[in-house]
Amino acid sequence: MSLIDKAGTYTLGNRQVKRLGYGAMQLAGPGVFGPPKDPARAVQVLQDVIAAGIDHIDTSDFYGPHITNQLIKQALHPYPSDLCLVTKVSARRDDTGAWLPALSPAELTQAVEDNLRNLGLEQLEVVNLRSMLDVHGPAEGSLETPLTTLAELRERGLIKHIGLSNVTPTQVTDGQKIVPIVCVQNQFNLANRADDALIDRLAAEGIPYVPFFPLGGFTPLQSQTLTEVAATLDATPMQVALAWLLARSPNILLIPGTSSPDHLQQNIQAAALEIPAAQMALLDRIGD
């Protein structure tokens, strides 16, 4: 059994994936814009991901844009049969790297076609519709029109499964009336736990929850309690933060990202980290 296997598995779409995956966002340049400084290093990270047994990679064609998908294709195509590639649509980048909504039927169709071309696929396994009603977090509002567009692309065979990202519980409920939702990807970590109830609801429905920014994203998690717990477990604070998420609920799938081979290995070690109940109780209070 590899380290990754110790995290267990969960159903995503119609396959079982290991609960510790990989997020490709950081493979692009600064600000997730432009190419990386060292493309060969990025390719090495992706190859190390597969060598470690990871079978779930999260990406998007608006990372770069196009950069991370092109790197994934360069490094891994033809893909292992057990690899689940998950992408997301609904945003575009301007010449300065700003994130802009791209939710019209034409823009979503183009995004799906771009993902297919740059990943070298005939069908995207999972496409997450990311709500852009508020770039910085979930905001109520109808996603019926863009989700219906993706459902139509699914009927055409360009998409196998559909998920939602940056959404509210109401939008999940509404989305399920349009098309089966196979995953929800929102921000969630030790210090940002607004989705506690949603995670439990999805677990009861057998739907995976995929926290983005599991380590805090552009502002890494900082907590004296986290640092102290990590010291008692002979682990790094970030390893403890990942292990806490794995322990939080069996339907949580992790996609920590990195552009460093060494950091990748550190993240992988979190799969085998067990947090005793007393330390879990301390960590649980961080988000209160």
Quick check: 216 pLDDT over 90?
A: no
Per-residue pLDDT tens digits for 26-71? 999 999 999 999 999 999 999 999 999 999 999 999 999 999 999 9
Q: Quick one: average pLDDT of 275-280?
A: 96
Report the predicted TM-score, pTM, of the whole model to 2 decimal places.
0.96
137 C-beta neighbours (distance < 10 Å), count: 13
Residue 259 confidence (pLDDT) above 80:
yes
Stated as kind and residue range, the H or E segment containing 187 is strand 181-187
Of 10, 22, 63, 209, catalytic:
63
Digit-coded pLDDT (tens) for 76-117: 999 999 999 999 999 999 999 999 999 999 999 999 999 999
Residue 232, pLDDT > 90, answer yes
- Active-site annotation holds for 63: yes
Please determine, for residue 273, whether its predicted confidence score (pLDDT) is greater than 80. Answer: yes
Q: How far apart are CA 280 and CA 285, in angstroms?
A: 9
Q: What is the pLDDT of residue 220?
A: 63
Q: What does the block give as tokens for 223? A: 């907590």
Give per-residue burial for 40-78: e unless 16+ CB within 10 Å, then b: eebbbbbebbbebbbbbbbbbbbbbbbbbbbbbbebbee
* pLDDT band (50, 70, 90) for residue 217: low
